[in-house]
Chains A and B, each alone.
Chain A
Amino acid sequence: MGYSWNWGVFLQPSATGDDTYLGWMLYGFKMTIGLSLSAWLIALLLGALVGVLRTVPSKTLSGLAMAHVELFRNIPLLVQLFLWYFVLPELLPKDLGDAFKQSHPVVQQFISSMVCLGLFTSARVAEQVRSGINSLPPGQKNAALAIGFTLPQTYRFVLLPMAFRLVVPPLTSEFLNIFKNSAVCSTIGLLELAAQGRQLVDYTAQPYESFITVTLAYVLINVVVMFGMRWVEARVRIPGYIGGGH
């Protein structure tokens, strides 16, 4: 097909002269990992909280939690990203908005992306956590309350330890998704892995090398995540326990 392969391209100095093209890729790789992990932290903490609130008896709290879930899972990720990056700074109090706009562009892009991905994924994590809690036999909650636990203690000592074990597999999918979804952030100029791949094509006209490398880098990340989560699953397995209900 007349394509001239040149894997050596990665060792060439980049167009800007201060790095090699491999250096560009590594920068993108680190950006993807840093962004996804920090967004995952937000998603996990907030998602767990919102998921728990969806199951509490208080109508106000569960209503608020439901609003959070519906808001963040029903707006397309790309639209959410544009809202965080282009619209929100205008809506902030003037001082804060100005401070944001005067910060380094990479900082602006990173913060917008992190918050956006984190909140988007938190809605999905919340749904997993809620379904985990709801799939426990209702007698568990009664047994915990009957022995004198308060409602928070019931969640802390009885419901959540089991619910989290049950949702490790679906959470693995969400964890994998957050890395893949992070590629959307290239649209606001964040130089993560996918953006670096495209940039490399623009400068070197070697699309195969570039996107094969990008693909392999994503595969590498996801294989590590999968094995990590499998390890977690095995770690928390309960001797003799089969399935959820009675």
Chain B
Amino acid sequence: MITMNKVSKHYGSFQVLADCTTHVNKGEVVVVCGPSGSGKSTLIKCVNGLEPFQSGEITVNGVSVGDPQTNLSKLRAHVGMVFQNFELFPHMSIAQNLTIAQIKVLGRDKAEAEVKGMQLLDRVGLRAQALKYPGQLSGGQQQRVAIARALAMDPICMLFDEPTSALDPEMINEVLDVMTELAQEGMTMMCVTHEMGFAKRVAHRVVFMDHGRIVEDDHKDAFFANPSSERAQQFLAKILQH
């Protein structure tokens, strides 16, 4: 579904990504982790072309992201993305947040989009909030709406960029529950996250990054039981103690 081949990116002389090669198969959940500044957020933003990269190739469902001929808007419409800071549109009600792109991008009619939006709101347990505005919801609720908004576009895969990092601890689980459910239904997912519990429970593979390089790319059991690099061992030792 997603393939990356020797992707490199630099800002001036600063190398953000160096020869990153990995893939996400259909129905697979891949967790990307690593210390801050390791390039994991940049990597996931390259997948839907939000960040340009200078060399290498990324394909999503066979379409090359870096190719100037590619219609990126069309590609992105089917690649859901969830952000650290939710990024709901603050001037629209929750219902409008869920329908606007269905109507303007996919060309669905309003009634159809509303039905779809309400179904998804129901699914994330927020049907009662449909007429409120994002500023009136808690962080966890906003992030669940953001997931529903992405799902409303019938995505072929979902990208999560630290979806729980901006949340209060007690709201993290409500978001992880929604993500776990999605994964169990067979959604193709690439998640940048520090939630190692989630990774252990749900992921198929774990990609570990450091200084813009993919240091480990392994089955999750192998990664947690026996990380091959010293850097990953240190990282896990620090994270898992807590």
- Chain B 95-110: CB-based contact to A (< 8 A → 1; otherwise 0): 0000011001110000
Binary flags per residue of B58-74, CB closer than 8 Å to A gives 1, else 0: 00000000000000111
For the complex, would chain A's binding face be called helix, strand, loop or mixed by DSSP majority? helix
Interface string of A194-212 (1 = CB under 8 A from B): 0000000000000000000
Complex interface: stretch among B22-30, B85-93, B117-125: B85-93
Contact A238 B48, beta carbon cutoff 8 Å: no
Shortest Cβ gap from B148 to chain A (Å): 12
Interface pair A153/B104, CB less than 8 Å apart? yes
Residue contact B76 to A242, C-beta cutoff 8 Å: no
Q: What is the CA–CA distance of A150 and B48 in the complex, to the nearest angstrom?
A: 13
Q: Are A137 and B85 in contact (CB under 8 A)?
A: yes
State the Cβ distance, B94 to closest chain A Cβ, in Å: 11
CB of A148 within 8 A of CB of B91, answer no
Closest Cβ of chain A to B98, distance in Å, is 11
Which chain A residues (2-45) contact chain B, with CB distance < 8 Å?
A: none
Say whether, besides A143-B83, A149-B73, A162 and B90 are in contact (CB < 8 Å). Answer: yes
Give the residues from 158 to 211 in chain A that come closer than 8 angstroms, CB to CB, to chain B. 158, 161-162, 165
A1 to B91, CA, bound (A): 60
Q: How far is the CA of A143 from the CA of B101 in the complex (A)?
A: 11
Q: Contact partner of B100 among A140, A157, A238, A246, CB < 8 A?
A: A157
Task: List A residues at the B interface (Cβ < 8 Å).
Answer: 137, 139-140, 142-150, 153, 157-158, 161-162, 165, 238-242, 246
Which B residues are closer than 8 A to A by beta carbons?
Answer: 45, 48, 50, 72-74, 76-79, 81, 83-85, 87-91, 100-101, 104-106, 132-137, 149-150, 153, 166
